[in-house]
Amino acid sequence: MTFRLVLALALGGLIGFEREWGGHPAGFRTHILVCLGSAVVMLLSEYGFSQFAAEPNVQMDPARLAAQVISGIGFLGAGTILRTGFTISGLTTAASLWVVAAIGLAAGAGFYYGAVVSTVLAVISLFFLNKLEKIFSQAKKEREVIVRFRRGTPALSGVVALFAGSGVQISKLTVESDDEADIEVAHMLVKVKVKNAWRPEQLTAELLSVEGVVGAELPGGGA
């Protein structure tokens, strides 16, 4: 029993270390606690109610508490998901918490091989495949641009023209009023159509040079 708990702690720590290293919302300690807690629940399901097994009309179901862990972990995962404008972050961390819970259940049930292999595959997916994803999808990903401009000026049309001439396509555009009476804010999702067209520092300077534009933000920069 002790070995199962220690194994859950170690496997959860491996995945948590990768999340902590990347500066994500749920890191080392959170993943350890989720994995360890899941293992404890699984052990409780198997051995915690054995004294009632001999009772008449009692049917043991070790999977019942485990099922509650899988569904309940969604509440914890939801706390790691953040939305800023069009950008949603934390989905991968939420998924890793769900996987860690499943690994903890496997370790608690004594399914050592499945727990270890799942951990190795999870680390590969989070670390190595993340590098490949960045390499192959850099030019295809959508990026967020936030532009603040004065109402009644040709700023928005100037921004659209600037993007069109820079090899950047606007895929989504919303405009909302700012707290200041004469300021509006344009939230845009853009795609880079020309190789090496995304130069955050230069693009920010060009946006600020458009008539009527008073501010420009590129969340994530060159990421």
What domains lie within the chain, and their CATH numbers? 2-137 (no CATH), 142-217 (3.30.70.260)
pLDDT per residue as tens digits for the range 53-65? 666 766 667 777 8
Question: Does the pLDDT value for residue 150 go beyond 60?
Answer: yes
Specify which of 28-42, 46-60, 151-165 reaches the highest per-range mean pLDDT.
28-42
Q: What is the pLDDT of residue 223?
A: 42
Cα distance between residue 194 and residue 198, in whole Å: 8
Rg (Cα) of the chain, in Å, rounded? 25
**Cβ(163)–Cβ(198) below 8 Å:** no
- The model's pLDDT over 159-176, given as tens digits with 9 standing for 90+, comes to 888 888 877 778 788 888
Phi, psi of 214 (to 5 degrees): -115, -5
Q: Does the predicted model carry a pTM greater than 0.95?
A: no
Q: How far apart are CA 38 and CA 30, in angstroms?
A: 12
Contact 117, 8 (CB under 8 A): no
